[in-house]
Amino acid sequence: MFYSVTQALLDGLLTTFQIFIFTLLFSLPLGLVLAFGEISRWKVLRGLIQTLVWIIRGTPLMLQLIIIFYGPGLWLGHNIWSGSEAGRITATVVAFSINYACYFSVIFRGGIEGVPVGQREAGEVLGMTKSQIFFKVTLLQMVKRVVPPMSNEIITLVKDTSLARIIAAYELTFAGYSFMKSDGLTWPLFYTGVFYLVFVGILTLLFNYIERRLDYFR
């Protein structure tokens, strides 16, 4: 039994990991684009992005996931996501990427605005170009500011992947839960928890490492 539970949980973990990694891959750059939009001089753009962020942060991720997975099928008459596991994972990644990009954008904006204006001006009077100032002066200071809040969000993302169960994606929590339903076993639930703990533990070590690497300056 232990072996088959482990097998099932590893299957679930694979899905969880896919949702996690693809969400990061899309939401990080999208979040940066949104952050630049939020500080743009163009008021209409700023307003649009602020509204988007308000809607996405103001409603449950689970609700967004349900709408994105079931909505197109009901509006268009045919489902744009295939009913297969891959389709469910794709829909989850889309919903999660939009959601997390909004949270990331706020963190990135804080990072950009947190670098003192004097840093840019010091670069300017030394004859640096705008891109030299960004890459050689402000970027690393931004990264340093952004790592602690980002680590929070990224750890939350690991656990949010369990929401994909609502559209029947066979992720880690679903895998552990199924043994309770079919065999009345509770220990697989705790075993599932261990999987999450190890996942988050590795991430924590990684973030600690990054923070330590950036510790040499203030």
Partner 1 sequence: MAVLEVKNIGKHFGSTKVLDDVSFDLDEGNALAIIGSSGSGKTTLLRCLNFLEMPDHGSITVRGDVLFDADGSVKGLEKDLRTKRLHFGMVFQAFHLFPQYTALENVTLAEKLLAKERSDFKQNRKQIFEEIEAHGKALLEQMGLAERMEHYPHQLSGGQQQRVAIARALALKPDILCFDEPTSALDPELTGEVLKVIRGLAEQRTTMIIVTHEMAFARDVADRIIFMDEGVIVEQGDPRQVIDHPREERTKQFLTKY
Interacting residue ranges for partner 1, rule: CB under 8 A: 116, 118-119, 121-129, 132, 136-137, 140-141, 216-218
Tokens (6 digits) for 188? 């697989």
- Closest contact distance (angstroms) between CB of 132 and partner 1 is 6
Residue position matching structure tokens 């030299």: 132
Taking CA atoms, 82 is separated from 13, 21, 73, 143, in Å, by 21, 21, 10, 38
Taking CA atoms, 152 is separated from 66, 86, 158, in Å, by 25, 28, 10
- Closest contact distance (angstroms) between CB of 123 and partner 1 is 8
Quick one: 44 or 117, whose CB is closer to partner 1? 117
Quick one: 2 or 217, whose CB is closer to partner 1? 217
What value does the CA radius of gyration of the chain take, rounded to a whole number of Å?
A: 21
Quick one: 72 or 110, whose CB is closer to partner 1? 110
Quick one: 140 or 202, whose CB is closer to partner 1? 140
Residues 6 or more apart whose CB falls under 8 angstroms from that of 120 comprise 133, 137, 138
- Closest contact distance (angstroms) between CB of 130 and partner 1 is 9
- Closest contact distance (angstroms) between CB of 137 and partner 1 is 6
